[in-house]
Amino acid sequence: MAPKYAPSLRSRLAPPLLFLQTGFIVIYALYTETDSNVQVVGKKFRDFYPEFQDVNVMVILGFGFLCTFLVRHGYSGSGFNLLVAAMATQWAVILNGIESWHYSGKIRINLKSLVEAEMCTASALISIGTVLGKTNPVQLILIALLEVTAFILNKWLLQTLLNIQPLSSIMLLHVFGTFFGLMLTWINYRKGSEQRFEKEKFDRKSGLFSMLGTLFLWMFWPSFNSVLAESPGRKSVAVCGTYLALAVSAVTAAAVSVLSNPKGKLNPILIQSCGLAGGVAVGVSMSVIQQPWEAMIIGFSAAVASTIGFQYLKIHMLLAFQCHDTCAILSTHGLPGLLGWLAHLFLQIKDSDDHTTAIRFAVFHICTLLVTITVSVSTGFLTGTLINLKIWRPPQNRKFLYNSQKKKKKHHDF
């Protein structure tokens, strides 16, 4: 016998998907064209395509497998990730091309536009990690479309009002996605979250697939941070710096995991969440990183902050602010992103010879963060309020509340 919610899901998911996809096809048919220029960011197509594939692997495979750590939400989590990424990327291409359409009447599509769209989509996938397992597919699609819109609006504001470089505005996706997601989970707080949800259980099999997603992200993160770099020199610095920061953060996360474990064992969940902190922090600050040791220090600091946040901040956010962060996005992306922003500020001031220039940069840099947080929090609040409406048929509390009669979850260590 089919579950009670199946007819409702069929009637609410398929029509919006078909309607949106039809609308996208019409817009692409009328207002887009493929850019025939073989040069992309000063590089030939065959040279840029591997980097595009690296970013594509991160968005689809990396985030997709990362969502499989929940036993009862692994298969659907990876499938929903693909659905959300496919829809959000199409929408991001349209929004990013509005300026081109305004001046030339057409939205030009090339590998660079696809990469920028997927990076905007990554911000939405980060936010969805806070409500993973607590929303249905219709809500996830709505979240992705609204957040991509808000993120591109924030990017436009930073570039227009504060004259921020496009690369720097895009790499704030970690900070934007974190605060947007925290507002989502705060608005959609469910009673009983102080106790572990029964659906939050994980085992070795789901943890193995989730670790595979972490490995995909770890391997391809240098391409993610360097793909939009303008010059070969900056691209080389970004690749080397990102790799070194990731290596340092992985080692640091393992060390802190052993120190914080009562039995002195490795905690794979902690390594998964905190081993990527270096890549996040360096991505936000890579435009001012010049030396390898700078990237390594940033990676070390990000791993320590992320590990401490994972151990203590998640439960305190739940008890103090009623924010149930399923994937610990605050410690994985938020804290490293803020630390990368702070490192960017410090390194830029250190390299400035003129005090007036340094003060001016500090003011603009602080305004950049304030604008990003303001836009993400306000749009996250509106989106959370919208998806909380009963019309979307959100999953009922009885599907999540912990059953004290069932066997409690065990933590598995290596």
pLDDT tens per residue, range 340-367: 999 999 999 988 888 888 888 899 999 9
Tell me, rounded to whole angstroms, the distance of Cα 316 from its chain centroid: 22
Given a cut of 70, is residue 75 above it in pLDDT? no
Mean of pLDDT values over 213-227: 92
Q: Would you call 20 exposed, middle or buried from its count of C-beta atoms within 10 A (0-12, 13-18, 19+)?
A: middle
Which runs of E-coded beta strand occur in 232-374? none
Q: What's the CA gap between 118 and 58, in Å, rounded?
A: 10
In CATH terms, 12-392 corresponds, of 1.10.3430.10, 1.10.645.10, 3.10.20.740, 3.30.390.50, to 1.10.3430.10
Nearest to 123 by CA among 173, 82, 172, 79: 173
When pLDDT is cut at 50, 70 and 90, the band that residue 144 belongs to is very high
Query: What pLDDT was estimated at residue 169?
Result: 87
Q: What's the CA gap between 367 and 373, in Å, rounded?
A: 10
Q: What's the CA gap between 317 and 402, in Å, rounded?
A: 19
Question: Are 120 and 151 contacting, i.e. CB atoms less than 8 angstroms apart?
Answer: yes
Q: What's the CA gap between 132 and 200, in Å, rounded?
A: 10
| DSSP secondary structure code for residue 151 in this structure | H
Mean of pLDDT values over 40-49: 70
Non-local (6+) Cβ contacts of 325 within 8 A are 129, 130, 181, 182, 185, 314, 317, 318
Could you tell me which residue, 321 or 95, shows the higher pLDDT? 95
Nearest to 124 by CA among 108, 135, 110, 113: 135
Question: Are 302 and 344 contacting, i.e. CB atoms less than 8 angstroms apart?
Answer: no
Structure-derived torsion over alpha carbons of residues 372, 81, 240, 360, reported in degrees to the nearest 10: 0
Q: Is 39 helix (H, G, I), strand (E, B) or coil?
A: strand
Q: What's the CA gap between 105 and 111, in Å, rounded?
A: 20
Whole-model pTM: value is 0.89
Q: What's the CA gap between 308 and 328, in Å, rounded?
A: 12
Tell me, rounded to whole angstroms, the distance of Cα 311 from its chain centroid: 20
Domain ranges of the chain: 12-392
When pLDDT is cut at 50, 70 and 90, the band that residue 120 belongs to is very high
Non-local (6+) Cβ contacts of 268 within 8 A are 207, 211, 412, 413, 414
Q: Which residues are paired to 43 by β-bridges?
A: 40
* Residue the block writes with tokens 């739940």: 318
Given a cut of 70, is residue 8 above it in pLDDT? no
Q: Nearest 5°: phi and psi at 75?
A: -65, -45
| DSSP secondary structure code for residue 38 in this structure | S
Q: What's the CA gap between 55 and 261, in Å, rounded?
A: 34
SS3 content of the chain, % helix, strand, coil (to 5): 75, 0, 20
Given a cut of 90, is residue 95 above it in pLDDT? yes
Could you tell me which residue, 398 or 148, shows the higher pLDDT? 148
When pLDDT is cut at 50, 70 and 90, the band that residue 296 belongs to is very high
* Residue the block writes with tokens 């920061």: 245
* Residue the block writes with tokens 């260590």: 413
